[in-house]
Amino acid sequence: MARSLLIFLSSLALAVLVVPVIEHAASTPTPLAPDAGATTTAMGDAHFEERLPDPTDNPARLIMPSIQLDTSVIEVGVTATGEMDVPDGKTKNVGWYRYGTVPGDRGSAVMDAHVYAAFNKLRNVKIGDDIYVVNMRGEKLHFRVTDSRVYEYDKLPLEYIFANSDGRHLNFITCARKFIPSINTYSHRLVVYTELVED
């Protein structure tokens, strides 16, 4: 069943993830991701902060001082087949899943990028490192790394990555380990978990 939760596109080295769309109260309805079985159902039960959406809350830049990363954040949604999209690997852009949590809100915001592009040094981020997100109105949010884990490509804990609502989280995903030609993707995924620092 876990294998069916991930669909790997031949043109991408980073696996795209089948994830639910999390709608904020009073927001314009957004297209739902296709049925992902039990995972979608479980994520749908999670509580997310209800508020009127404010576009100026959306992330504009990501800063990771420990790996000298300071780059633009772009919104990504779902592909035509319903998976989380990823920025073009020819850029240094990081993608924020716009149908999920806004960084700083209660829940789990998620960002991704290719391991050969913006996240080529993500593996060097350590627990305790500071990470900053600058939103559209120039406000800087401070996050701190709480964990860093490598998972087999078909055993990602999607509910924990996308739907953990016990705090204000921001999680980062990229590929890891060895590229496997037979499945046209990497053998593992690196996930870095962070939590908002309430300064």
Beta-bridged to residue 5, according to DSSP, are none
The region of weakest confidence among 16-30, 31-45, 149-163 is 31-45
Amino acid found at 50: E
Q: According to the model, what pLDDT value does residue 50 have?
A: 52
Q: Provide mean pLDDT across the span 22-28.
A: 37
Structure tokens at 130: 């500071």
The dihedral over CA atoms of 56, 57, 60, 64, expressed in degrees to the nearest 10, equals 150
The region of weakest confidence among 43-52, 137-146, 179-188 is 43-52
pLDDT band at 124 (very low <50, low <70, confident <90, very high): very high
Q: How far is CA 143 from the centre of its chain?
A: 14
49 to 102, 153, 171: CA distances (angstroms): 10, 30, 17
Classify residue 55 by burial, with Cβ atoms within 10 Å: 0-12, 13-18, 19+: exposed
Question: With the C-alpha atoms ordered 121, 125, 130, 133, is the resulting torsion angle positive or negative?
Answer: positive
Amino acid found at 64: M
Q: Provide mean pLDDT across the span 135-152.
A: 97
Most distant CA pair in the chain: distance in Å?
Answer: 47
pLDDT band at 51 (very low <50, low <70, confident <90, very high): low
pTM of the model: 0.77
